[in-house]
A and B are shown apart, each in its own frame.
Chain A
Amino acid sequence: MTTRQFGQPLKRNEDPRLLTGHALFTDDVQLPGMLHVAFWRSDLAHAFIRSVDVESARKRPGIVAVYTAEDLGEFWQPGPLLVPPPPVEQLEFHQRTQVPLAKGKVRHAGEAVAMVVAESRYLAEDALDDVYVDYEPLEAVVDLEAALAAGAPLVHEDLGTNVSARVTQTKGDWAAAESEADLVLRRRYHYDRGTAAAMENRGIAASWDERAQRLTVWDTTQAPIAIRNGLAAMLGLSEHQVRVIAPFIGGGFGPKIMMFYPEEVLLAWAAVQLNCSLKWIEDREENFYATTQERGQIHDAAIALKRDGTVLGVKDRFLHDAGAYAPYGLTVPINSQCTLLGPYVVPSYRSEFTSVFTNKPIVTPYRGAGRQHGVFVMERLLDAAARRLSLDPAEIRRRNFIPPEEFPYSNEIIYQDFAPLVYDSGNYEPALDRALELIDYERFKQEEQPRREAAGERVGIAVVNYIEGTGIGPYEGARVTVEASGKVSVATGVGTQGQGHYTSFAQVVAEQIGVDVPDVHVVTGDTDLFYWGAGTFASRGAVVAGNAMHAAATKVRRKILKLAGEKLEAAEEDLELIEGRVQVKGVPQTSISLGALAAEANPMRGAVQPGTEPGLEATEYFGPERGATASGVHAMILRVDKDTFLLEIERYVVVHDCGTVINPLILEGQIQGGVAQGIGNAFYEQLHFDENGALRNASLMDYLLPTASDIPNIVSDHVETPSPLNPLGVKGAGEAGAIPVGALFAQALDDAYRDIELEVREIPLSPNRLFELVGEALTRERA
């Protein structure tokens, strides 16, 4: 082929529809006679339910049905455990998963207790006023340490403990590292909760067609196939009777991979029960309680080093806030545990965590999925050590990088995908050098910072590293078909949440088939069009589905060449695919269009050779043996208003390595969006729960998302170290932007206040918190 499609910064196929408001989102689904659903949600975080009275609600005009847990009968079941614990040796695990409607007890504020089906959402919400729940309030489990104290109230009484899981993983010998070390530092770090706050809240529309005996569900899910399989099983239907469509989704960021949300199973069930179509769209307030959250951890960590900054070992013990139920198993804390090791040689590591049930909304992965915490701990430890050893922060990192010749590099512990934590490839120093160059590190430190500080300003610089385990299995599939129009259709089950799959997947396919990217029509997220798949999560779409596309497209290419060879009476090696045609190389007169070839491949009369498959079509699957490890460096110059403690990011640099790049423009979007979320996480977004487990800022007025004016221009660059684990050489890029930002803020602030030895040990921050921390540092300094 002549024009390359792969690797080009092409504009996105889906954007015209999205930007002109013509894309289908779940709330756009309007069906005749559609009913609407509202949920009665608990305002208490922890209470026994003595009784639920919905009689007067049922009698209101326009109310079709009101359900409580009792009304669900056999259908009432706790949800499945999505991710079983990985095979680590030292493991304690207690499975407790969410229920469709609370029965006997509520375990977090916002947990659904009753479901109202009405002719309109207004009437449904009116009826909520007539639901009466008789509670016996209980002391709430909010604080992680208090949760583990003797005599603490229990989230799940039958367990006899609030421990959801305990895991210890080790590498080398920490005790030896500690005794050999010239310096051992111990620190406590806090990382608090936030929420993904996707622009589109969750939503579900379900419709039962009695004559066809089929259920159709539109769902803002990142995993339509798993939803179909689960719903079919729960409802006693064949998988062929259930069609799940995940249409366009206005951001998922992880919480939309969670399943099964109570609303997901209840709407499907009620559609069948009532033989109707109905819809529930989560409102923003509900989203703060009913959609999963992340990030609460407390770490007690230690690092052992030699005088020259060489790391000998790290020890970490941490508490992880699981929320009221833990349907996602150990993914988040295992990610924290594994990602902590970063791009560094850490010969000895001992990491032990306790995942704790609390009376707060459920925790499942949210962009970064625990990686933030690990990176924060390691980067902070290195910064503290650098200060003590009078080393530059960039230098201490450089001294500890895994050298490029050491790959594949084994960290000896088990990762979230159950495989050993082995980095496939990486080359860290060039990325660091490039970042330092782009931020103009030396000049800032030598010249600009002293000059500005002399003028009374507070300015700091920071540079941090991270790795990101991406592209994990198990598998995805794709079917590639050349249609008689000459256009290509592609179907996959992976699901999409706005990442640009309609374009990047099309690029992978177009590269093999020699058509223009806009002529490749991608369908994701419709279970009627592709049967198999896992979902879009863990920065895996491009790696796993992308390689399945590549395999299927390669196979179709071979079919094209074979058939064209026959038709054109030419050897396959002499053919080329150009602009939707197959031609004898350099002889455009001897050619056939892909459309004509597709028609030939699907004869309507006559006979074919036995064994002939119709069409120019292939279906392939791809499952990597383990994940691919991406990496990167972020650098920043930060100015602090020393009077108000407001921040201004003056320069932000990202140098990133996600292997081979499919579309640099889409990658840039992923990085920028990730950084924006990271900035929110570092300085704006925090969920404030009071001692009763009530959320004090369940609205976007008080939960601050970064806005355009808070996000700087981001200068980015790439280093490409292809992954040897897949034919395309790609690694995931979905979460990278968000991961190291907390650590970056902390280092920059420390630097701006190095004269008073400020040491930030927590994220998120705020102007108020910075005011307090600076005040404390000043008091220490004066003492």
Chain B
Amino acid sequence: MKPAAFDYHAPRTLEEALDLLAAYGEDAKPLAGGQSLVPTMNFRLAQPEALVDLNEIDGLFFIREGERGLHCGAMTRQRAVERSGMARKAAPLLHEAMPHIAHAQIRNRGTIGGSLAHADPAAELPAVAIALDASMYVRSVTDARWVPARDFYVGLFATAMEPGELLVEVAFPQPRPRSGWAFEEVARQHGNYAMCGAAAVVELSEEGAIKKARLVFLSVGEGPVAADQAAAMLVGERPTATALRAAAEEAATKEIDPVGDIHAGPAYRRHLARVIGERVLTRATARANEAPLL
């Protein structure tokens, strides 16, 4: 379990990093926290010719409020997001999901950008990003663009980024008035990848009907799966237990197509999606009810 030989670069600036990525093209990989990349290299599943280490680029480590809401630099450690009071207030769903990522030791190294870019279908952050309508700021030597989270994920371990592009930051919009959120997952053990998880956001109208809903699953498809039909079913409805259950049922039976693995077969995953879908919608609604009208 030793990686194959590779070139190693540790640029100090974003521009240098982008130059290196442009020069190597597909043959280089950015190194963030290394928590996913290094194991795959040790198994020799990945044998990049070069690593462009992002850990020396100070400009990629930040959490601040800005025009798009909460902005996090790609290299911000997951643990830093988890502990940030600002993130907790500005993106409470993100805060709630954070402890479900691996173990604290791994979150100390793992970065928000690394997790979002890695696009593991079992990862929490991509689902949260979609549920929150986050957007990703992607740069290359020649280009800079904001990509909505929904468009960012294009398949199994695949994103809209091209070789030479780097995820630079991610922005999460501020919570809407009268909205609530919830995240939950079922893993075989604390710290393991989930067999199924879901993030929900529910926004209520002044009359208490559902104005907008988001229900996004992880670990039940090739990437994060947004259950849009279920969400659409809820709009305009009173958030009764029956309505929420029906939405979860719709999502679990029609909107996901889980494949099995050794831990959870398709039927069990579907069952969990139903259970968790209902739980997160219920909790999100309860929180929306408590949320200030503003």
* A and B co-occur in one complex: yes
Instruction: Give A contacts to B, CB under 8 Å.
Output: 121-122, 125-126, 283-285, 643-646, 684, 686, 688, 696-697, 699, 701-702, 704, 706-707, 709-710, 766-768, 771-772
Chosen A-B contacts, 11 in total, with CB atoms closer than 8 Å, are A125-B1, A646-B186, A697-B262, A702-B262, A704-B188, A707-B191, A710-B189, A766-B188, A767-B264, A768-B264, A772-B267
Q: Within B1-58, which residues are at the interface with A (CB < 8 Å)?
A: 1-5, 39, 43-44
- Give Cα distance in the complex from A707 to B271, angstroms: 26
Of all A-B residue pairs in the complex, the 5 with the closest CB atoms, nearest first, are A283-B1, A643-B275, A768-B268, A688-B262, A122-B2
Query: Are B188 and A684 in contact, with the CB atoms below 8 A?
Result: yes
**What 11 new A-B contacts, CB under 8 Å, besides A644-B275, A766-B188, A766-B263?**
A125-B1, A126-B4, A284-B1, A285-B43, A684-B189, A709-B189, A767-B188, A768-B263, A771-B267, A772-B265, A772-B268
Which of chain B's residues has its CB closest to A125's CB?
A: B2
Residues of B within 8 A of A684 (CB): 188-189
* A122-B1 contact in complex given A646-B186, A704-B188, C-beta closer than 8 Å: no
B280 CB, nearest partner CB in chain A, Å: 13
- Most chain A beta-carbon neighbours within 10 Å: one of B1, B5, B39, B191: B1
* A707-B265 contact in complex given A126-B5, A644-B275, C-beta closer than 8 Å: no
Q: Does B63 contact A (CB under 8 A)?
A: no
- Give Cα distance in the complex from A706 to B188, angstroms: 10
- Give Cα distance in the complex from A686 to B193, angstroms: 17
Option from A644, A688, A772 in Cβ contact (under 8 Å) with B272: A644
Q: Does B64 contact A (CB under 8 A)?
A: no
Which of chain A's residues has its CB closest to B193's CB?
A: A701
B271 CB, nearest partner CB in chain A, Å: 6
Q: Does B195 contact A (CB under 8 A)?
A: yes
- Report whether over half of chain A's contact residues are helix, strand or loop; otherwise say mixed: loop
- Give Cα distance in the complex from A697 to B263, angstroms: 10
Q: Does B254 contact A (CB under 8 A)?
A: no
- Give Cα distance in the complex from A126 to B190, angstroms: 36
Q: Within B129-181, which residues are at the interface with A (CB < 8 Å)?
A: none
0/1 per residue, B182-196, Cβ < 8 Å to A? 000010111111010
Residues of A within 8 A of B195 (CB): 767-768
- Report whether over half of chain B's contact residues are helix, strand or loop; otherwise say mixed: loop
* A771-B271 contact in complex given A122-B2, A283-B1, A644-B186, C-beta closer than 8 Å: yes
- Give Cα distance in the complex from A283 to B2, angstroms: 9
Query: Are A767 and B268 in contact, with the CB atoms below 8 A?
Result: yes
Query: Are B262 and A696 in contact, with the CB atoms below 8 A?
Result: yes
- Give Cα distance in the complex from A582 to B157, angstroms: 75
Residues of A within 8 A of B4 (CB): 126
- Give Cα distance in the complex from A632 to B87, angstroms: 53
Residues of B within 8 A of A688 (CB): 262
B10 CB, nearest partner CB in chain A, Å: 20
Residues of B within 8 A of A707 (CB): 189-191
B259 CB, nearest partner CB in chain A, Å: 13
A650 CB, nearest partner CB in chain B, Å: 17
A280 CB, nearest partner CB in chain B, Å: 13
Residues of A within 8 A of B188 (CB): 646, 684, 704, 766-767
Which of chain B's residues has its CB closest to A767's CB?
A: B188
Residues of A within 8 A of B193 (CB): 701
Residues of B within 8 A of A646 (CB): 186, 188
Which of chain B's residues has its CB closest to A122's CB?
A: B2
Q: Within B38-84, which residues are at the interface with A (CB < 8 Å)?
A: 39, 43-44
Residues of A within 8 A of B272 (CB): 644
A777 CB, nearest partner CB in chain B, Å: 15
Instruction: Give B contacts to A, CB under 8 Å.
Output: 1-5, 39, 43-44, 186, 188-193, 195, 262-265, 267-268, 271-272, 275
Residues of A within 8 A of B263 (CB): 702, 766, 768
- Give Cα distance in the complex from A771 to B270, angstroms: 12
- Give Cα distance in the complex from A643 to B186, angstroms: 11
Interface contacts (Cβ under 8 Å), in number, total 60
Residues of A within 8 A of B191 (CB): 707
A200 CB, nearest partner CB in chain B, Å: 15
Query: Are A704 and B271 in contact, with the CB atoms below 8 A?
Result: no
Residues of B within 8 A of A121 (CB): 2
Which of chain A's residues has its CB closest to B103's CB?
A: A707
B267 CB, nearest partner CB in chain A, Å: 8
Which of chain A's residues has its CB closest to B269's CB?
A: A768
Which of chain A's residues has its CB closest to B47's CB?
A: A129
A552 CB, nearest partner CB in chain B, Å: 44
- Give Cα distance in the complex from A643 to B191, angstroms: 20
Residues of B within 8 A of A772 (CB): 265, 267-268
Residues of A within 8 A of B264 (CB): 767-768
* A704-B192 contact in complex given A644-B275, A696-B262, C-beta closer than 8 Å: yes
Which of chain B's residues has its CB closest to A128's CB?
A: B44
- Give Cα distance in the complex from A32 to B190, angstroms: 44
Residues of B within 8 A of A710 (CB): 189-190
- Give Cα distance in the complex from A696 to B262, angstroms: 8
- Give Cα distance in the complex from A772 to B5, angstroms: 46
- Give Cα distance in the complex from A772 to B269, angstroms: 12
Query: Are B265 and A768 in contact, with the CB atoms below 8 A?
Result: yes
Query: Are B5 and A122 in contact, with the CB atoms below 8 A?
Result: yes
Residues of B within 8 A of A125 (CB): 1-2, 44
Residues of B within 8 A of A768 (CB): 195, 263-265, 268
- Give Cα distance in the complex from A707 to B192, angstroms: 11
- Give Cα distance in the complex from A771 to B271, angstroms: 9
- Give Cα distance in the complex from A643 to B193, angstroms: 19
A340 CB, nearest partner CB in chain B, Å: 30
B47 CB, nearest partner CB in chain A, Å: 10
Query: Are A709 and B190 in contact, with the CB atoms below 8 A?
Result: yes
Query: Are A285 and B190 in contact, with the CB atoms below 8 A?
Result: no
A282 CB, nearest partner CB in chain B, Å: 10
- Give Cα distance in the complex from A771 to B190, angstroms: 19
B274 CB, nearest partner CB in chain A, Å: 9
Which of chain B's residues has its CB closest to A697's CB?
A: B262
Query: Are A771 and B2 in contact, with the CB atoms below 8 A?
Result: no
- Give Cα distance in the complex from A710 to B262, angstroms: 19
Residues of A within 8 A of B43 (CB): 285, 699
- Give Cα distance in the complex from A771 to B189, angstroms: 17
Which of chain B's residues has its CB closest to A646's CB?
A: B186
Residues of B within 8 A of A709 (CB): 189-190
Which of chain A's residues has its CB closest to B1's CB?
A: A283
Query: Are A285 and B1 in contact, with the CB atoms below 8 A?
Result: yes
- Give Cα distance in the complex from A701 to B186, angstroms: 16
B115 CB, nearest partner CB in chain A, Å: 16
Residues of A within 8 A of B271 (CB): 771
- Give Cα distance in the complex from A122 to B2, angstroms: 6
- Give Cα distance in the complex from A122 to B42, angstroms: 10
- Give Cα distance in the complex from A509 to B193, angstroms: 50
- Most chain A beta-carbon neighbours within 10 Å: one of B189, B192, B193, B265: B189
A745 CB, nearest partner CB in chain B, Å: 15
Which of chain A's residues has its CB closest to B184's CB?
A: A644
A642 CB, nearest partner CB in chain B, Å: 10
B39 CB, nearest partner CB in chain A, Å: 8
- Give Cα distance in the complex from A277 to B289, angstroms: 71
A690 CB, nearest partner CB in chain B, Å: 10
- Give Cα distance in the complex from A654 to B268, angstroms: 33
- Give Cα distance in the complex from A707 to B262, angstroms: 19
Which of chain A's residues has its CB closest to B276's CB?
A: A644
A731 CB, nearest partner CB in chain B, Å: 34
- Give Cα distance in the complex from A215 to B44, angstroms: 35
Residues of A within 8 A of B267 (CB): 771-772
- Give Cα distance in the complex from A766 to B195, angstroms: 12
- Most chain A beta-carbon neighbours within 10 Å: one of B39, B44, B188, B265: B188
A675 CB, nearest partner CB in chain B, Å: 17
- Most chain B beta-carbon neighbours within 10 Å: one of A696, A706, A768: A768
Residues of A within 8 A of B2 (CB): 121-122, 125
- Give Cα distance in the complex from A285 to B262, angstroms: 17
- Give Cα distance in the complex from A279 to B289, angstroms: 65
- Give Cα distance in the complex from A697 to B262, angstroms: 8
- Give Cα distance in the complex from A106 to B4, angstroms: 26
A72 CB, nearest partner CB in chain B, Å: 25
A764 CB, nearest partner CB in chain B, Å: 12
